Every structure is written in structure tokens, then in C-alpha cells.
Amino acid sequence: MGRLKVAVVDADKQTCRAICALLEQANIPVASMHTLKVLSDYLKRELVAVLLIDLDTLPVDNTFFRSLKKQYPNLHIFCLSSHPHHPGLEEAMGAHICASLAKPLNSEELFYWLKAISEIEPADST
């Protein structure tokens, strides 16, 4: 798998640490954060290929995702949720989010998506 830089945003610090540990074990550069403000500041400083964001713990809506993709069009957004449907996020799910992953996180599914992204990303993008 290429050297994709991943940002994990989850207000649940324990879940965030577990996801980051999983990625670190696979030698994937990862940054953890717990608020959208910290994410915004981080994305201004760092080139991130993949964002994994927990829909259950953060106040996000279509406007958030639309703005994020406008500012960072090459960012691949993965969502994590314990809910199969997200009324009100139809636009984001259809246009801005690459994958929606179920809780508890299936590591094989996550690595499948990361591998797919790494195969389409240019080698010097991160």
C-alpha cells in the first residue's frame, strides 16, 4: 500500500486511539484529532489523502462535507457510523463520501478501501 496520510477524527478518544493504532501497525502515517476545529487547522498545514470521520460523535452535515470537498478536492472521505442510514446526509453520501464503514470497524474493509485509494493516488501526492 502506498504512503497515504490518513487523518482520523473521532470525539470518542478511545475509538480514535484504536483506529490510529491499527493504521500505525500497518505503517500508515496517521494523525488523530477529536474536534472539527482541530481538523480544519490540520488540513491547512498537512497534505492528507484520506479522512476517516465518525458520524456518530461529530456534528457534521451536507454543508460541512460540501465545503470540505471544495477546499480539498483530492481528499478521500470515509465515514464511520453505527447507523446504517443518515437522513439529512443524502447529498454528502452521494457526492462527497467515498465509503461508509460500520461500527465496530472491520479492519479488512478499511484496508481494502485504503488499498483502492492508494492505487489511484499519484506516488508523490502525500
Three-state DSSP state, 86: coil
Q: Reply yes or no on whether the pLDDT at 125 is more than 50.
A: no
Q: What is the mean pLDDT of the chain?
A: 89
Find how far residue 38's CA is from the centre of its chain: 14
CB 57 within 8 A of CB 12: yes
How much is the pLDDT for 126? 41
Mean pLDDT over 54-67 rounds to: 92
pTM for this prediction: 0.89
Using the predicted structure, report yes or no on whether residue 77 has a pLDDT greater than 50. yes
Sorted by where each starts, the structural domains of the chain and their CATH numbers stand as 6-120 (3.40.50.2300)
